[in-house]
Amino acid sequence: MMEDFADVTALSEFMATREGISPIERLLNEFEAHEAKEDHALEFYKKTLAHMPSPLTRFLLQLIVSDEEKHRAVVHAMVSTLKGSLTWTRPPDSLENTGAVTGSTRELLDVTDELIRLEKDGITEYKTLVKASSGYYRGVFKILLDSMIRDSEKHVELLEFLKQNLKDA
């Protein structure tokens, strides 16, 4: 009789652990909460943008909107990946879904070094342009060029990751 009771306790403890939230689930919740905030900000930018009389203001807000739309896609992909891990599946948009290696995969691998070089050249050119255009238009060119430098640095990082990833595939 006592043994049965102990078994029930062990079982309910086991169930509690099972029902307790796993690290991946917790991460998923955090990403989903963040996703909601991003959506809120995006809607705000879009609404504001529509009423701005100045082309400069509209242009700059539109840049932010485009970035936020990208952020949305990125967070969405990460959420899909986490959901895939939780359900032991690989949804089509999961970042764990590697797909088959085809001719196009190898073609991309062949040109990654060239693309990385182009991005790095671009960074050097943007830096020259920053100097050449400093002092014009209240510094807006500098802000825009600096942001393109950061984009190119990001592209280099992405390409280097892709290169390694394609090699390992």
- Can you give the binding site for Fe ion, defined by CB under 5 A? 38, 68, 71, 152, 155
CB of 20 to Fe ion, least distance (A): 31
Question: Least CB distance from residue 167 to Fe ion, whole Å?
Answer: 21
**Long-range contacts made by residues 137-145, C-beta under 8 angstroms, separation at least 24?**
140/56, 140/60
- Nearest CB to Fe ion, comparing residues 90 and 120: 120
Instruction: Indicate the residue among 25 and 38 with the shorter CB distance to Fe ion.
Output: 38
Residue number of the CB atom closest to Fe ion: 71
For residue 21, the minimal CB distance to Fe ion (Å) is: 26
Whichever of 11 and 73 has its CB closer to Fe ion, that residue is: 73
Q: How far is the CB of 77 from Fe ion (least distance, A)?
A: 14
Both tokens assigned to 125: 């050119």
For Fe ion, the closer CB: 44 or 137: 44
What would the DSSP string read from start to end of 45-102? HHHHHHT---HHHHHHHHHHHHHHHHHHHHHHHHHHHHHHHHTT---TT-TT------
Is residue 131 within 8 Å of residue 153, measured between CB atoms?
Answer: no
Residue 2, token pair as written in the block? 């006592």
